[in-house]
Amino acid sequence: MNGRGGAGHAAVPPDHRSLAEVIAGLCSRLPEDRLASWVRVLAHSDGPDDPALEFFTASQTAPGLSGQLAEALRAWRRETPALPGAALALAVCAARAVPRPSPVQPVVSGPVGPSIPTRLTGGVALDIIRSARSSLLIASFAAHGATDAVNEVQEAMDRGVTVDLLLEESTQASSAFRALPQGVRIWHRQGTSSGVFHAKLIAADRHTALVGSANLTDRALTDNIELGVVLRGADAVGPLVDHFRWLIARGSNLMRRA
């Protein structure tokens, strides 16, 4: 038996990933400022047991990140304990410089386990709204509360972003946005079809989108057990935006302005 999927074969735990694999994952996940901070700490360390590295690792508050950094230290000790931090910092910079497809980023609401690095839905939703520079498209079955998200939509409009809100009429979701200026475009499903508008999407321009189960409500963004993913890049986000633009296009007769 080759050991792959055999009845008595134990799965290889994530902690046994190679140092190169862990570094690649961190380079894909960390934003530029956090990556630069990690590289600076690495560059001044003598090895994986440097207290400064332990402190930096323990100080990370993003769900799952401190565990991923700790995994990198363990892989470093296991594979090349004599490798100086400056050499590993150079390897991190080289890995970051290689273009690679943006990974799908998991997003959750509710309890966060240690199995995979995740971000919380509420914070991700705000970040995506803030990132919009020309257009913002939000779809939700229900909407209430979520004051921070509504405020971010207001700020997006203040900086000239065109905002389209595709909402289910039967849930009175549009009332959550009553404070927004008249420039916001609210859309409801046309006609008397038995179906409802059940999609959940936040798309900034054509570069970033959050797709998942969470409505734009306080509980869905924080307390409910919800699951979603963040997509990045025009190849992934563009077709989604095009689909919803088609839904609200005049010729489709599928949705109407509220």
Task: Give tens-digit pLDDT for 230-243.
Answer: 999 888 999 999 99
Amino acid at the residue 154: Q
* 48-87: burial string, b at 16+ Cβ within 10 Å, e else: bebeebeebbeebebbbbbbbbbbbbebbeeeeeeeebee
Give phi and psi for 200, each to the nearest 5: -130, 120
Assessment of whether the complete model's pTM goes beyond 0.95: no
Assigned CATH class of 105-257: alpha beta
Residues 194-205: pLDDT tens digits?
Answer: 789 999 999 999
Which two three-digit tokens encode residue 160?
Answer: 């000239």
Average pLDDT for 138-165: 96
pLDDT grade for 31, boundaries at 50, 70 and 90: confident
Rounded-to-integer distance, Cα 190 and Cα 255, Å: 4
Show me where the domains of the chain are located: 15-97, 105-257
pLDDT grade for 192, boundaries at 50, 70 and 90: low
Q: How far is the CA of 34 from the CAs of 40, 47, 247, in angstroms? A: 10, 20, 39
